[in-house]
Structure 1
């Protein structure tokens, strides 16, 4: 009986230690995020549930790349920029601008990337996007290194993306973009790809 009680106390101790440790690692990231040095005058903010710890880690590892990406969003007239692909730093940071119709939910897929981070921003219109944890998703199409994509089934959280908020997806974020919102037949969108540093 004494051993069982001791074992339970140890398990509770481990759980509390993990919780405290988790808080310790996320609080500095939250403070860094709130301080806002990263956005350098950019008038856009990431969506509320962004992985702040991963954002801080990747920003500090690749500051010059992130600065180029955010400078593009800040300094480019996104309303008038033509659809196409624009290189900001070779294949380490590049931009894809699209303008056209989104798809019905059934024609979209949950996806993730291993080598690139997505910064997705709706310039004009509205689009639905889903986000789920990679650890809770099931693979439906194996990772394709040439396309840097794998597909999944997942139960995620959905957002209506519109001008003013950017969505940043890391390799652990399974995401489902390009879902049509009723009433918005044409959506202009900017996707910036940044190379992920392990």
Structure 2
């Protein structure tokens, strides 16, 4: 259903389906150079007070929950206030404001386009160790 939204999504979703993510070590993995790459992460989910709103200019995020679950927040970029200049080397802007919560369960994903501000890494009921695959797809 999502593969046709971007010419590189088919490759990204195929990688998520075929890669042995559960046994791979955290780190950066090139899929198609800097056009598509994986950031495989393991961390403890955190409280909202320790996190911030972000949005990206150059990349689309596909955040797939390999193990565990986490709460995320979502808002349209235009509904938030920018608090820092765009950090080109890290491809994000920092924002503040209010949005909506949702939980990404193991085996599910969230898709964030450049107009989608998001605050990931939040605990749902209590902090927990999770493993997440973030596929970065160049616009």
Q: 8 Å contact 1:105–1:179 — kept in the other structure? A: yes
TM-score normalised over the length of structure 1: 0.66
1:57-93 Cα deviation digits (max 9, x unpaired): xx1xxx2x21221111111122212111100011110
Helix, strand or coil at the partner of 2:11: helix
Which one of 89, 92, 102 corresponds to residue 149 of structure 1?
A: 92
Where structure 2 has 5 or more consecutive residues not aligned to the other structure, the ranges are none
- Name the counterpart of 2:13: 70
Rg comparison, structure with higher value: 1
Give the root-mean-square deviation of aligned CA atoms: 1.5
Which one of 49, 73, 83 corresponds to residue 130 of structure 1?
A: 73
Taking CA–CA contacts closer than 8 Å with sequence separation of 6 or more, which of the two structures ends up with the larger relative contact order? 2
Q: Distance in 2 between matches of 1:111 and 1:83?
A: 22
- Name the counterpart of 2:116: 173
**1:162 Cα offset (Å):** 1.0
- Name the counterpart of 2:132: 189
The runs of at least 4 aligned residues of structure 1 exceeding 4 Å deviation read none
How many aligned positions are there? 139
Which one of 78, 88, 105 corresponds to residue 162 of structure 1?
A: 105
Helix, strand or coil at the partner of 1:72: helix
Query: Greater share of helix residues, 1 or 2?
Result: 1
Q: Distance in 1 between matches of 2:128 and 2:72?
A: 16
Q: Distance in 2 between matches of 1:75 and 1:183?
A: 31
Q: Distance in 1 between matches of 2:102 and 2:17?
A: 23
Where structure 1 has 5 or more consecutive residues not aligned to the other structure, the ranges are 1-35, 39-54
- Name the counterpart of 2:30: 87
TM-score normalised over the length of structure 2: 0.93
Query: Greater share of strand residues, 1 or 2?
Result: 2
Q: Distance in 2 between matches of 1:77 and 1:135?
A: 37
